[in-house]
Amino acid sequence: DPFTSLLTLEDTLYTTAYTLGTNDGSRAGRIEGRLFGLENGFEKFASLGQLHGRSVVWAARLQGNQEKEEKEKEKETEHLPTLASTSRLHNNISLLHALTDPETFDTANTDDAVADFDDRFKRAGAKAKVVERIVGETQGGGSSVIKSPEGSPARGKSGPVRVTGGAKKGKKGDDNMEDFAGSRLLR
């Protein structure tokens, strides 16, 4: 039939455009997801590095860690005051250092690695607060707010949080960025 190609022209154009749009959207979604993951990963490891640096400084300030030669050099320059070395303080600083050691973290993007990182970051933040209280210091001289990897303050919540709205309702696949076939927008 000579008119078959003309009669199916609209369907052919629709199918071709749909396929191209799905492929382009999938690629753009992967790129956006990759950038989002890199940004969040950087923020998480920067926060971890801050805690690790604080543990190193606290460990260096313990009285038992300084030798006579270092004490003589310190008399000539300005320095941070030394900390009274108690077993509790030493144990908390050692644990904080071990929890934040970058060599021990898995950088794979797996559920287990992310859960391990988040757990260790949360525990390290708690240890940093304990050391701050023992030493009598706060971060930045002001408040002792350490940001969680998600960017929310880990402390200082003023009251209950009210959640408005209901649960997201939809069919399976509606929330997946790359699964355009299940999208409610294409129905």
- pTM of the model as a whole: 0.59
Per-residue pLDDT of the chain (187 residues; tens, 9 = 90+): 778 888 889 999 999 999 999 999 999 999 999 999 899 989 999 999 999 999 999 999 887 655 555 656 656 666 777 888 788 999 999 999 999 998 998 888 889 999 999 999 999 999 999 999 988 887 654 444 455 555 554 444 444 545 454 445 555 554 445 444 444 444 4
Q: Decide: 83 and 63 in contact? Cβ < 8 Å.
A: yes
Distance CA 180, CA 18 (A): 10
Query: Angle, to 10 degrees, between the axis of helix 87-99 and the axis of helix 111-135?
Result: 150
Cα 49 to Cα 124: distance, rounded to the nearest angstrom: 11
Neighbours of 54 (CB within 10 A): 21
Closest CA to 45 of 127, 132, 147, 186: 147
| Segments making up each domain of the chain, as ranges | 20-68+80-156
Show Cβ contacts of residue 58 under 8 Å, excluding neighbours closer than 6 positions: 83, 93, 96, 131, 135
Residue 44: how many other CB atoms lie within 10 Å: 20
